[in-house]
Amino acid sequence: MEPGRGTVRDRAVPLEEGIHMRIIRYAAVLLTISTGLLVAGPARAADQNVLVEGALDGPAVAVGAEIAASLRTGTSATFFNAPDSTTGVTCTTSSFTGTVLTNPAAGGIATESLTGQTFADCTSNTFGVTGVQSLTVGNLPYLASVDGTTKAVTVTATEVGPIQATVVLNTIIGTVDCTFEAAAAGFTGVAANEDNSITFTNQQFTWVTGSTLCPTETYLSAAYAPVIVTSSPESPAVFVQ
């Protein structure tokens, strides 16, 4: 054997060691990438918020964003005298505006300041009522909370005062004012992603002041759709998750 030359077996050992080292380094790279993906996965999921805009996988609605909605097309807001009644006030125009206060991770509870709510084009089928002068809400703003899990929307009063609705009616004996107040716990609705709506059904208000000719209770029903982000380009719809 010539000096400085090993056998075929001797030369194969470094070759095998080199291959093994490359395999180990490759496996380490794969492990690093996999670990990074595992760590990054939950972070992306945590970025999903209760309120998102445009689609369920869309960006979070920013805190401070302005939102709004009008009645679902073809529907009316009603204040009827009982849950199973069709007697009372019907308004074919209504809308609300608000500002997003908090928007936590999906499944949590987002909050909004309900800064405005209007009712217009109202009529009444109550005996003796000849017209509706106005229907307004008082003590704005209200606090609205949106549960990402149950899709419940709860509207409660703030330190400004209780949630109130006042209707001014023209009657055969003159003008009649009726002011109604929601319960201390507020009133509730439900959000739906199918049409980006919020629906309130038979939410009770109790008479607190005004003419004794007013009904003792009135029940609000209204469906607003779509709820949109007016402060974002193209006013995308709001989804709840």
The domain ranges of the chain are 1-46, 51-240
pLDDT tens, position by position, 7-41: 544 544 454 555 445 544 544 444 444 444 333 33
Q: Quickly tell me which residue has 């107040």 as its tokens.
A: 181
pLDDT at 6 (0 to 100): 52
Do residues 143 and 126 make contact, with C-beta atoms less than 8 angstroms apart?
Answer: no
pLDDT tens, position by position, 191-203: 999 999 999 999 9
SS3 breakdown of the chain: % helix, strand, coil, rounded to 5?
A: 15, 50, 35
pTM for the full model?
0.80
Q: Tell me the three state secondary structure of residue 53.
A: strand
Q: Tell me the three state secondary structure of residue 32.
A: helix
Q: Omega before 141 cis (within 30°)?
A: yes
DSSP 55: S
Type and span of the H or E element at 176: strand 174-182
C-beta atoms surrounding 45 within 10 Å: 10
Rounded to whole angstroms, how far apart are CA atoms 232 and 90? 32
Bridge partners of 184, per DSSP, are none
Rounded to whole angstroms, how far apart are CA atoms 25 and 31? 10
Q: For every one of its 241 residues, what pLDDT tens digit does the chain have, with 9 covering 90 and above?
A: 445 555 544 544 454 555 445 544 544 444 444 444 333 333 334 449 999 999 999 999 999 999 999 999 999 999 999 999 999 999 999 999 999 999 999 999 999 999 999 999 999 999 999 999 999 999 999 999 999 999 999 999 999 999 999 999 999 999 999 999 999 889 999 999 999 999 999 999 999 999 999 999 999 999 999 999 999 999 999 999 9
What Å distances lie between residue 101 and 23, 146, 169, CA to CA?
Answer: 53, 11, 36
pLDDT at 19 (0 to 100): 45
Dump strand ranges (E) for 86-128. Answer: 88-102, 109-124
pLDDT tens, position by position, 160-169: 999 999 999 9
The separation between CA 216 and the C-alpha centre of its own chain, rounded to angstroms, equals 31
**Percent of the chain whose pLDDT exceeds 70:** 80
The separation between CA 198 and the C-alpha centre of its own chain, rounded to angstroms, equals 8
Q: Which amino acid is at 229?
A: V
